[in-house]
Amino acid sequence: MSIKKLLVSACLMLVAMGAQADEMLKPFVLASKGTGTIAEKAAETKSALVKGGFTVVGDYSPYAGAEIIIVTNNELKKNAADSESGGYGAIQRIAITEVGKEIQVSYTNPVYMANMYRMKGDLGNVAAELAKALGKEEDFGSARGMTARQARKYHYMIGMEYFNEPSLLATYGSYNEAVQAVDSKLTAGKGGVAKVYRVDIPGKEEAVFGVSMKGRGDNKYMDEQFIMNEIDFQPIRSTAFLPYEVLVSGNKVYALYARFRIAMDFPDLRMMGKNSFMNIMKSPEAIRIALQNAVQK
């Protein structure tokens, strides 16, 4: 090959790499929308996921008109094992949501999550496997999206938490004590915080738990339905934001602070006005306290 052709090939490769690096990522993927019932679509979706090589580790209905399925596979768990605090990215969430007379099937964007959670791999293969199993109509959750580089450095605004600034909820004497205690306490559903799933990260003292959160009266600010009623208002719903996570890593128990965890899935949400962060201003601390009370010694 001539030097000229080599230079042209190199330039084209650099352009392709640059285009990939600048790909605009969004939090969620719409798999399909159409008629049917929640139950029918949930059964159909679970079957497709299992056939696609995923393991269903949990499912629940956070409120009427919504069902969420949580899955993992070997690649997700391996990437979690290779990444610091990787347990958050060991699962993907799939939502079946009734909006008017339409049923929407959507799921978390694995590549977006991998970069938000600063994981070693970008989970591009997992994204392709989910698209093959469930379909892909469009990415959504942000008008413009953000690049992988922006996602890895993301926080909502000055003074708000980054991914590497989680809340420390509890400390135990050992990993085994911590993970067994957290499992037992979340299974008991103390304070409206209850276990939805558990995934253990292979070869690592780390486990991620998904939790539902129910609160009324003075505790309404930690309630899933209250929060989603305020912020999940777009025509295509972001139901796959749920459930929230608790991470046991070593002998410590953590959760991402809600000013990061909510904002990463709703990056376009306004600070003030109707359907804004102002309406759930008390929720981040209410969530932290609820989770801490649920898992503390």
CATH architecture of 25-295: 2-Layer Sandwich (3.30)
Give CA–CA dist 83/119, Å, rounded: 5
Q: What sign for the dihedral angle of Cα 166, 171, 175, 181?
A: negative
Q: b/e string for 27-53 if b means 16 or more Cβ within 10 A?
A: bbbbbbbeebebeebbeebbebbeeee
Name the CA radius of gyration of the chain, rounded: 20
pLDDT of 267 higher than 50 = yes
Q: What sign for the dihedral angle of Cα 284, 285, 290, 293?
A: positive
Q: What average pLDDT does this structure show over 166-180?
A: 98
Residue ranges per structural domain of the chain? 25-295
Give the residue from 234, 238, 210, 52 showing the smallest Cα distance to 133: 52
Per-residue pLDDT reduced to its tens digit, 45-71? 999 999 999 999 999 999 999 999 999
Least reliable range by pLDDT among 15-29, 83-97, 137-151, 259-273:
15-29
Strands 66-72 and 92-99: antiparallel
Give the residue from 243, 256, 241 showing the smallest Cα distance to 195: 243
Return phi, psi of residue 189, to 5°.
Answer: 70, 35
Give CA–CA dist 214/226, Å, rounded: 9
Per-residue pLDDT reduced to its tens digit, 60-118? 999 999 999 999 999 999 999 999 999 999 999 999 999 999 999 999 999 999 999 99
Per-residue pLDDT reduced to its tens digit, 129-157? 999 999 999 999 999 999 999 999 999 99
Residue with tokens 């009324």: 216
Residue with tokens 């050992």: 174
**Residue 255: how many other CB atoms lie within 10 Å:** 24
